[in-house]
Amino acid sequence: MKVTQAYRFALEPTPSQERALASHAGAARFAWNWGLAKCQERYAAEGKWLSGVDLHKVWNAEKKAEPGLAWWVENSKCVYQEAFRDLDRALRDFVSCRKGARKGRRLGFPRFKKRGKARDSFRFSTGVMRCAGATVTLPRLGTIRTHESTRKLARRLVAGTARILSATVSRVAQRWFVSFTVEVQREVSEQHARPGSAVGVDLGVKALLTGVDDGGRLIEVAGPKALRAGLRKLRRLGRTLSRKVKGSNNRRKAADRLARHHARVANVRADALHKATTALAAQYATVVVEDLNVNGMLANRRLARAVADQGFGTARRLLAYKTGWNGGTLMVADRWYPSSKTCSACGWRKPSLTLAERTFACEPCGLVIDRDVNAAVNLRDLAASGAERRNACGPQARPGPTGRSGMKQEPGPAGTAAGQPAAA
């Protein structure tokens, strides 16, 4: 089975390579802004835009005719083309969003990218893209050292089980990264090694995740110490920043420090989530998680950081494709399923439960249990009842009157498993 995966490496460019990277990012930004201006011009005159292909044609004619654009040769021509493709997609997404044909948050009309404000990023989709040892090779830029070894990807490339589709280079918190989008040939199990096994997982605010399996075993992943220490430092740096005078040099320095630390915490978190989800998917045929409205929760500022920090959406995405690779299934409880409010012993529903209440106490049966463990047990029990419901009601079953039914199944090993959206 072929899946699309991303492999990301931090770069350690020499000073001259760093200049070339910045130049390419500048070229991508210029091409985007140039294309957007052309589209606006045409829209004002004819009521329609230029497609990515059209933009590329106009660009090819103009770059030769216009002496002011002679610098274009300093950068790979691929970068301009990819920027036009991005713009093309952004315009089409904007239109389909306005028509209501696109899910997700509302998109505005594409904007001009300001130097220093917009993320520095550019992409190659053709040319020499390789990796070996602790280096990557990119068109025009040549061979650049990487922070870590690239052996995981290099091995696959040598064995012929992976093919690089594109490379996106971007700068995050003063550091350059390359992310290869790779088509990987993967062994996918038809059947899970432990058929019938199930685990309910509460993706927590307090712990990274809390699970209870079909044998009643408790799985608690608190997240690495480095993450908790990192979060404390993040708060401190945030406070420091807020005390600096706006527009001052010290404020800029504090902002850089905060951004760098933020990137580090994100890496630690991603690593912990990868390890935890790999283990769960290998061990259990059915993994049940909650379908929390992450967007809705992020609107709540106090909870926002906690939820974002725990990478709820990431965990679900990772579980969806990793269960698929192992021949298992990820089940997602209906958004309105009250996993935290329901007693896992007798089914009594607590009328209200605030987020501050970390313990669930049942009035009728007297059960006193950790809130997250209680939720995990309820989710695990859905695995058994959900299987029946799924057959009866289809994948999008609405919650029944008891609220104990709602269940939908994730698409599983989707074609673009780990595929991250190509950076814009």
Interface with Zn ion (CB under 5 A): 343, 345-346, 348, 362, 365, 367
Tokens standing for residue 282 = 């290998």
Closest CB to Zn ion among residues 270, 345: 345
Q: Tell me whether residue 381 is one of the annotated catalytic residues.
A: no
CA distance 341 to 352: 7
Closest residue by Cα to residue 369 from 332, 339, 399: 339
CA distance 357 to 339: 14
- Torsion angle of alpha carbons 164, 168, 172, 177, nearest 10°? 40
| DSSP of 18-67 | HHHHHHHHHHHHHHHHHHHHHHHHHHHHHS----HHHHHHHHHHHHHH-G
Closest CB to Zn ion among residues 321, 360: 360
Min dist CB 360 to Zn ion, Å, is 9
Min dist CB 377 to Zn ion, Å, is 11
Indicate which residue of 82, 86, 202, 291 is catalytic: 202
Min dist CB 157 to Zn ion, Å, is 55
Indicate which residue of 82, 88, 309, 372 is catalytic: 372
Contact 408, 74 (CB under 8 A): no
- Torsion angle of alpha carbons 377, 379, 384, 389, nearest 10°? 150
Pairing of the two strands 198-203 and 135-138: unpaired
Closest CB to Zn ion among residues 303, 346: 346
Closest CB to Zn ion among residues 27, 376: 376
Paired residues of 178 in beta bridges:
9, 169
In Å, what is the CA distance from 162 to each residue of 5, 28, 129, 133, 181? 10, 27, 12, 16, 10
Closest CB to Zn ion among residues 3, 362: 362
Min dist CB 374 to Zn ion, Å, is 10
Closest CB to Zn ion among residues 256, 363: 363
Pairing of the two strands 407-409 and 329-333: antiparallel
Residue 232's H or E segment, with its range, is helix 225-243
Indicate which residue of 120, 290, 309, 410 is catalytic: 290
Q: Tell me whether residue 46 is one of the annotated catalytic residues.
A: no
Min dist CB 348 to Zn ion, Å, is 5
Min dist CB 337 to Zn ion, Å, is 17
Closest CB to Zn ion among residues 366, 395: 366
Min dist CB 338 to Zn ion, Å, is 13
In our burial notation (b when 16+ CB lie closer than 10 A, e otherwise), range 132-161 reads bebbbebbbbeebebeeebeebbebbeeee
User: Which amino acids are annotated catalytic?
Assistant: 202, 290, 372
